Structure 1
Amino acid sequence: MKCLADSIRMMLAIVFLTTVATQTVQAIEFDHAKLEQIGARMAQFVEEQQIAGAVTLVGTRDNVVHHAAIGYANNELRREMRPDTVFRIASMTKPITAAAVMILVDEGKVAVEDPVEKYLPEFQGQMLLDRREGDRVVLKKPHRPITVRDLLTHTAGVAGFPPGMRDLYSRRDRTLGEAVAMSSQQPLQFEPGSRWSYCNQGIDTLGHLVELVSGEPYAEFLAAHIFEPLGMRETAIFPGKELLARNASIYDRKEGRLVAVEYPLIGDPRGAKHPIPAGGLFSTAADLAKFYQMTLNGGSAGDKRILSQASLAEMTRLQTGDLPCGFTPGMGFGFGFAHVKEPLGVTAMLSPGTYGHGGAFGTQGWIDPQRGVFFVLLIQRVSLANGDASEMRHEFQRLAVEAIR
């Protein structure tokens, strides 16, 4: 019965995705005077020392209708922000890692209902935290092992970094396989599938699964199967000198002023061993637009198919039901993507079913399939009260949606 229910859900998701894609073939009109207000509003945030600069982009399934750069990529050097400035997109990497997994699903090499231990034997015998009795931790066997689906939806119960690995992302001195193996016997924090808890380690585990199943290093798999077919030439886990020279600096705000911070949270990619599938990508707005347009076009870009319609439908539909999810109201999760169940607060202007992801440095990408439009905001700022609900995101999205006629 469960298999039948899953099949029905998948068919309905494909029908919805196909219907939306058909609807968006019609030309979408924009008020370009209103789109120009986006730059003026971002300039106010620069003047207020909220951000050093920003790149904004609005597009449809086949066009980019707005692409602007405001402020500075580096305040100290007075290096101006440009449309092709490179950003550390942090957790905006997660949907791309999920897409890599679903490519393997399309190839029949992975099934989302499979236990992770089928591919990564080091997870066999993983235990569940039952309770704490003083300094003593009591463990028990979980009802079932964690699955690929659990990792894709942040419902596995995987714990944080184990002792000795708290600085893994800043040091990047272990390989992905080494880091996953060290985390594999951490006790689960809750029964798999019973709760939602955002988990970088779970996505990293998926990245290692991609390596083992495909026989290709994670970064090379992304390049060969996603970036090269889509023409995303300015997206990389380990960027070269040319991309790093165009990278925007990251800023903190202290005593009302912006202060540059070097490689916070995620360490220097030069010489790094760990690719950080949960958040290691560098990219540009134009490259992200190509990935988002692929999703609006049912998994294809021109004559190149990246994902089947079925896999894309699974990535973008609500997978977490009524579980409380996300960092803002009204959210759920698909596979790798956040999913707007009920537009509220910072997502109030978006349609139900909008999907996307943000990043630790304030970046955000939303794809609104009902309207056939997507929105990209790239900034580099830490210590926001709630990066997922920042005023910059709200204002950018509000103005972009108001420009749709």
Structure 2
Amino acid sequence: MDSSLLRAELAGGTSLEEGARRSLTGRRIAVGCGFPTNSRFVRRMIAMLAPPWTLGRVLVALLCLAVASPALAQEGRRKPPALESVNEAVTKHIENNDVAGAVTIVIEDGKVVHLSGLGKANIQADKPMRPGAMFAIASMTKPITATALMTLVEEGKVGLDDPVSKYIPEFADVKFEDKTLDKPITIRQCLTHTAGLGGSQRVVGSLEETAKELAKRPLRYEPGTKWEYSPGLNVVGRVIEVAAGKPYGEFVQERILTPLKMNNTTFQPNEKQQARVATLYAKDKDSGELTEAESWIGNFETDPYPNPSAGLYSTARDLSKFYSMMLNGGFLGDAKILSRDSVKELTKLQTGEIVTGFTPGNGWGLGYCVVREPQGVSAALSPGSFGHGGAFGTQSWGDPKKNRAYILLVQRSNFPNSDASDLRKDFQDAAAAALDK
């Protein structure tokens, strides 16, 4: 507290004013030191500020504050809540060697109602899984890429139904079965995996080089007629670069990560962050044991260029910020990322009656999977819920009806279908059962 303000607060006054004045002084100092203003310590400090005021008494009060502040502030930081039933459900899968460890977080009405780290981040090193562990989130990158693109749509720099060839000329020559397309491939089709594209989602060299190579690949089907999971978001990443006039990774940082204070979400973890990254494992089909695995996904040494389809690392808290923003209609605190209309456009059903992956009852929005008819693994979600999974078992789903999001972070490379895993179902079911009471 500023010394001149303290002197002013301790200046004389009538007897009726004195009690209120010193009470206000004590509480202002308490707020500045970061601990509860109604604590016993603060009440004693206020008493010490009673007249007669002497330099000695004031110095003693301030000295006591300096000594007590760290302990009191620590008391004020409460441990995040954890739902016992969720921990039990996840622990079952850790004990069964489905995963080495997991971080789970559930948010409701913008608040964390569950956060837990269980198991091991690294089995060999006996390293416990902490709630702040970092994970390669693989295809959970796609919704973030789509959201970044939508900021350009709002500015009129990109149209969802623009032909891709407007930004990547090589797509003007794309053919299906040696025939020129009746209609050009659009950005919307790339976002919904209905563009006819297929094959690897890896970025080779740069997005510019990768987009040109994608334009040369034979189409799998007539665009707009089917759904097939694709490298369409890599095309979108290159469109962002052309329209924004800057690298894709830099644009995502400016438009999404920095405004939302997602400080531990990155395409290339620094040295300190790398120490927090959970180890990737695969389950041996014969022994049932977990062994360390490798993948190009999230490998920033072999694949350093930011990948719009699968390149990000993140944490539970950072992802909860992103989904809080989406559930809140494009806002989070003072940060405005999108308008409500743009959020609705991203997360509404775009694929009609076309059958899509990865579990029954789903459709596709723009870069987001959308739950049409909850069933099986998605039974705990409401119709209209949106989200995405990742190759290593990670899951993130926002439920706008309940204003709730479920985020599961693990690192397991060979789930038969990570979106349909029993772990995902048990986690979501347990959380929903506990919170719907």
Equivalent residues of 1:54, 1:69 under 8 A apart: yes
Q: Structure 1 pair 33/86, CA: closer, same or farther in 2 (3 Å)?
A: closer
Q: Equivalent residue of 2:86, what SS?
A: helix
Q: Structure 1 pair 120/66, CA: closer, same or farther in 2 (3 Å)?
A: same
Alpha-carbon offset, residue 274 of structure 1: 2.6
Residue 216 of structure 1 corresponds to 246
Q: Distance in 1 between matches of 2:322 and 2:122?
A: 27
Residue 380 of structure 2 corresponds to 349
Residue 160 of structure 2 corresponds to 112
From 291, 295, 298, give the equivalent of 1:259.
291
**Cα displacement string for residues 7-38 of structure 1 (whole angstroms, at most 9, x for unaligned residues):** xxxxxxxxxxxxxxxxxxxxxxxxx9992111
Residue 369 of structure 1 corresponds to 400
Residue 110 of structure 2 corresponds to 62
Q: Distance in 2 between matches of 1:173 and 1:210?
A: 17
Equivalent residues of 1:34, 1:399 under 8 A apart: no
From 254, 266, 274, give the equivalent of 1:236.
266
Alpha-carbon offset, residue 237 of structure 1: 1.0
Identify the range of structure 1 (230-239 vs 188-197) with the bigger mean alpha-carbon deviation.
Answer: 188-197
- TM-score normalized by the length of structure 1: 0.85
Counterpart of 2:192, as a letter, is: T
Alpha-carbon offset, residue 159 of structure 1: 2.8
Q: Distance in 1 between matches of 2:350 and 2:204?
A: 34
Equivalent residues of 2:82, 2:113 under 8 A apart: no
Alpha-carbon offset, residue 173 of structure 1: 5.1
Residue 352 of structure 2 corresponds to 321
1:379 and 2:410 matched: yes
Q: Equivalent residue of 1:211, what SS?
A: helix
Aligned length: 355
Residue 18 of structure 1 corresponds to none
Alpha-carbon offset, residue 187 of structure 1: 2.5
Residue 121 of structure 1 corresponds to 169
From 268, 271, 282, give the equivalent of 2:299.
268
- TM-score normalized by the length of structure 2: 0.79
Alpha-carbon offset, residue 57 of structure 1: 0.3
Q: Distance in 2 between matches of 1:196 and 1:271?
A: 30
Counterpart of 1:340, as a letter, is: V
Q: Equivalent residue of 1:124, what SS?
A: helix
Q: Distance in 1 between matches of 2:250 and 2:109?
A: 27
Q: Equivalent residue of 2:83, what SS?
A: helix
Structure with the bigger RCO (C-alpha within 8 Å, sep 6+) is 1
* 1:7-22 correspondence runs (5 A): none
Identify the range of structure 1 (81-90 vs 181-190) with the bigger mean alpha-carbon deviation.
Answer: 181-190
Identify the range of structure 1 (70-79 vs 238-247) with the bigger mean alpha-carbon deviation.
Answer: 238-247
* 1:4-403 correspondence runs (5 A): 35-129=83-177, 139-161=178-200, 169=202, 174-199=205-230, 201-254=231-284, 255-262=287-294, 264-266=295-297, 268-270=299-301, 272-403=303-434
Q: Distance in 1 between matches of 2:414 and 2:207?
A: 27
Alpha-carbon offset, residue 376 of structure 1: 0.3
Residue 10 of structure 1 corresponds to none
**Matched residues, percent identical?**
45
Residue 69 of structure 2 corresponds to none
Structure 2: runs of 5 or more not aligned = 1-79
Residue 65 of structure 2 corresponds to none
Q: Distance in 2 between matches of 1:48 and 1:113?
A: 47
Q: Distance in 1 between matches of 2:425 and 2:296?
A: 24
Equivalent residues of 2:82, 2:115 under 8 A apart: no
Q: Distance in 2 between matches of 1:301 and 1:267?
A: 27
Alpha-carbon offset, residue 371 of structure 1: 0.7
Q: Distance in 2 between matches of 1:145 and 1:67?
A: 46
**Cα displacement string for residues 307-344 of structure 1 (whole angstroms, at most 9, x for unaligned residues):** 11111111111111100011210000000110000011
Equivalent residues of 2:198, 2:229 under 8 A apart: no
Q: Distance in 2 between matches of 1:268 and 1:252?
A: 16
Q: Distance in 2 between matches of 1:389 and 1:35?
A: 23
**Cα displacement string for residues 259-292 of structure 1 (whole angstroms, at most 9, x for unaligned residues):** 0113x14252037443211011000000000000
Q: Distance in 2 between matches of 1:271 and 1:61?
A: 40
**Cα displacement string for residues 199-257 of structure 1 (whole angstroms, at most 9, x for unaligned residues):** 0x211010111111111211111111100000100001122111111000011111111
Q: Distance in 2 between matches of 1:61 and 1:154?
A: 31
* Alpha-carbon RMSD: 1.6
Equivalent residues of 1:175, 1:273 under 8 A apart: no
